[in-house]
């Protein structure tokens, strides 16, 4: 310990001894102290000769003590700004704040910009506190020693709150003891004039910078700041990051807005230089989303367009316009649940991915292929070291939560003398009788003698122990002769769960349109 710090540290860590004298039970100090109680503790501590200096980096004290210090520091800040009047404290204590709920009338007449910063923690998971300078109560829940997640919505043409807000907040708090701050700029995002909402993005970023500066003054670090931005919110995150020269910890962009941002230079949109790690999900690149890559890694589920389960015609009403765009949010929430991994395959294009050209992920060893969502930062070191940065990853999803498809690499070696073209349907059966199917019917496959034909098969279910496999070959023609496909070897290699065995079948004949079922065996070739 550095000479001269012992007395101060002991005094700091003994602040809690003053609590009973202030009429506060010691077991209630960390999470339930009001600003007046904090002031009482500080005053009694001073009278007892315990000088509560409260350095923000008092790591040698327990988190219990650091929480009290953060509250005392915040109270001092409020006093210095004359925001701690008795009326302010009494009016705000115990009050829950809610996301601004507007309607189409507000969108038509327009709304001036007003931002609520709604804080949720494990101490107040169902009662948001607004972190504005008039609400001292809200700041008592803000522990700057925690990681802070900002959730920033986008354009709101009808004024209603995002339906996913409560779910994403809950999932974050289930994972870790975060400060979760919902950035409610509904007054400013609700308008029939999209360009007005887009113009407000930099103003929202300025407001967020003031809050983050305040947090930094209390001991927070930029490393601990994580911004999750949806649509216009993704660009707001980028503008905040630029003001800190890319030093904030992480930005996740969920289908960043395309209109008014496509083709703009990096200083006018989200860019990978805006944070230490930037990951992006694109689900509507032919509509409301940004077309090109923006981050250290950009995920393109289903190629970034036409998400499964979303309406294909305008007859579906508003869902036709927003479903693809919002799917990025639901994919991210699915990653927080950790039911299954949404594995992406780095590739030049969606077509290359679909024909099985991008399946090894050797560049990420000893890790596997990267996954979309909250846990994407496990691949951060590999991704930020690329020169130049920028990795595109493609994969397909199911239509419903948890959205996962389970990928297998399927290849055939045939010995038919004539070249055959057709489609494969493959079914997997487990020991307990479950069945999952993959129809490889988007592009026909070409089977040539003694040449390997590779296909990418995707299944909706994850079958751990495969007991049987069935395969059907078809040319898609309803006239003409029926063909035979003579197979020298068929090999099935798991890609989503690479630790599972590679399965084979040797020397069999597929009759067109006839399903053939067999028991697979471990492959003989160990150099696969």
pLDDT digits (tens, 9 = 90+) for 25-64: 444 444 445 555 555 555 555 554 444 444 444 333 344 4
Topology annotation, domain 104-395: Rossmann fold (3.40.50)
Instruction: Based on the residue annotation, tell me whether 217 is a catalytic residue of this protein.
Output: no
Task: Write the pLDDT tens digit of every residue in 392-431.
Answer: 999 999 999 999 999 999 999 998 888 888 899 999 999 9
Confidence bin at 217 (pLDDT 50/70/90): very high
Q: Which of 325, 334, 335, 341 is labelled catalytic?
A: 325
Catalytic residue among 231, 237, 335, 416: 231
Mean pLDDT of 223-243: 98
pLDDT on residue 41 = 54
Q: Is the pLDDT of residue 11 over 90?
A: no
CA distance 494 to 436: 14
Note the pLDDT of residue 442. 72
Return the percentage of the chain with pLDDT > 70, whole number: 80
User: Among all chains, which residue has been given the structure tokens 């905040």?
Assistant: 240
What pLDDT shows up at residue 477?
75
**What mean pLDDT do residues 111-120 have?**
96
353-380 tens-digit pLDDT: 988 888 888 889 888 899 999 999 999 9
Give bridge partners of residue 361 from the DSSP assignment. none
Q: In what order do the strands lie in the sheet with 179-185?
A: 129-130, 114-120, 179-185, 148-152, 225-230, 250-254, 277-281, 297-301, 391-395, 345-346
CA distance 492 to 344: 19
Indicate whether 528 pLDDT > 60.
Answer: no
Cα 494 → chain centroid: 25
Indicate whether 434 pLDDT > 50: yes
Q: Is 184 annotated as a binding residue?
A: no
CATH architecture of the domain with range 406-522: Sandwich (2.60)
Residue 68, pLDDT > 80, answer: no
- Average pLDDT of the chain, as a whole number: 84
pLDDT band at 480 (very low <50, low <70, confident <90, very high): low
491 is annotated as contributing to ligand binding: no
Whether 325 is catalytic = yes
Q: What is the pLDDT of residue 363?
A: 87
Q: What is the pLDDT of residue 482?
A: 77
The structure's pTM equals 0.78
In this predicted structure, which of 67-81, 299-313, 415-429 has the lowest mean pLDDT?
Answer: 67-81
Q: Using alpha carbons, select from 217, 266, 219, 226 the residue that is nearest to residue 247.
A: 226
432 is an active site residue: no
Q: What is the pLDDT of residues 245-272, one digit of tens each?
A: 999 999 999 999 999 999 999 999 999 9
pLDDT for the residue 315: 76
Structure-token match 């846990």, residue found = 375
* Mean local confidence (pLDDT), 136-156: 91
> Is pLDDT at 165 greater than 90 in this prediction?
yes
Q: Rounded CA gap, 67 and 54, in Å?
A: 10
CB of 382 closer than 8 Å to CB of 363: yes
- How is 372-432 classified by DSSP, letter by letter? SSGGGGGGHHHHHTSSS--EEEEE---SSTT---EEEEEEEEE--SS-EEEEEEEEEEETT
Q: Where are the domains of the chain?
A: 6-84, 104-395, 406-522
Q: Which of 255, 298, 341, 396 is catalytic?
A: 255
Is residue 151 within 8 Å of residue 168, measured between CB atoms? Answer: yes
Residue 385 scores a pLDDT above 50: yes
* Predicted confidence (pLDDT) at residue 233 exceeds the cutoff of 90: yes
């Amino acid at each position: 310990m550095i000479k001269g710090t012992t007395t101060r540290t002991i005094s700091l860590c003994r602040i809690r001894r003053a609590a009973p004298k202030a009429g506060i039970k010691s077991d209630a100090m960390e999470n339930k102290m009001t600003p007046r109680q904090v002031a009482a503790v500080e005053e009694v501590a001073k009278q007892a000769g315990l000088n509560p200096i409260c350095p923000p980096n008092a790591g040698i004290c327990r988190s219990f003590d650091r929480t009290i210090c953060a509250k005392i520091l915040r109270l001092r800040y409020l006093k210095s700004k004359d925001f701690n009047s008795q009326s302010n404290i009494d009016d705000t204590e115990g009050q829950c704040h809610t996301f601004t709920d507007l309607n189409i009338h507000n969108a038509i007449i327009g709304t001036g910009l007003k931002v609520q910063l709604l804080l949720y923690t494990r101490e107040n998971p169902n009662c948001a506190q607004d972190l504005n300078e008039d609400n001292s109560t809200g700041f008592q829940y803000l522990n700057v020693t925690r990681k802070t997640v900002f959730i920033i919505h986008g354009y709101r043409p009808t004024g209603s709150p995002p339906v996913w807000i409560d779910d994403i907040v809950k999932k974050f708090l289930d994972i870790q003891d975060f400060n979760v701050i919902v950035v409610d700029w509904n007054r400013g995002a609700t308008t029939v004039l999209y360009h007005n909402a887009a113009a407000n993005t930099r103003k929202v970023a300025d407001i967020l910078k003031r809050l983050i500066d305040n947090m930094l003054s209390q001991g927070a670090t930029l490393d601990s700041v994580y911004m999750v931005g949806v649509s216009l919110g993704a660009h707001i995150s980028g503008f905040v990051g630029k003001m800190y020269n890319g030093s904030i910890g992480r930005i996740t962009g969920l289908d960043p807005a395309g209109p008014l941002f496509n083709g703009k230079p990096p200083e006018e949109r989200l860019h990978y230089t805006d944070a230490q790690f930037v990951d992006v999900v694109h689900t509507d690149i032919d509509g409301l989303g940004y077309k090109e890559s923006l981050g250290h890694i950009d995920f393109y589920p289903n190629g970034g367009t036409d998400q499964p389960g979303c309406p294909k015609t305008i007859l579906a009403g508003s869902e036709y316009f927003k479903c693809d765009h919002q799917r990025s949010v639901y994919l991210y929430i699915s990653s927080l649940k950790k039911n299954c991994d949404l594995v992406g395959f780095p590739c030049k294009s969606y077509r290359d991915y679909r024909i099985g050209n991008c399946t090894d992920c050797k560049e990420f060893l000893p890790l596997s292929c990267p996954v979309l969502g909250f846990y994407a930062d496990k691949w951060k070191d590999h991704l930020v070291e690329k020169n130049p940065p920028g990795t595109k990853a493609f994969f397909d999803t199911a239509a419903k939560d948890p959205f996962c498809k389970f990928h297998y690499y399927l290849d055939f070696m045939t010995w038919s003398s004539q070249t055959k073209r057709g489609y494969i349907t493959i079914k997997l059966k487990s020991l307990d009788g479950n069945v999952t199917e993959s129809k490889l019917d988007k592009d026909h496959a070409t089977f040539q003698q003694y040449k390997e034909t590779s296909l990418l098969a995707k299944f909706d279910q994850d079958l751990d122990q495969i007991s049987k496999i069935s395969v059907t070959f078809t040319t898609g023609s309803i006239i003409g002769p029926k063909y035979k496909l003579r197979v020298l070897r068929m090999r099935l290699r798991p890609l989503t769960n690479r630790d599972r065995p590679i399965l084979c079948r040797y020397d069999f004949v597929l009759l067109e349109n006839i399903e053939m079922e067999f028991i697979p065996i471990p492959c003989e070739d160990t150099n696969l």
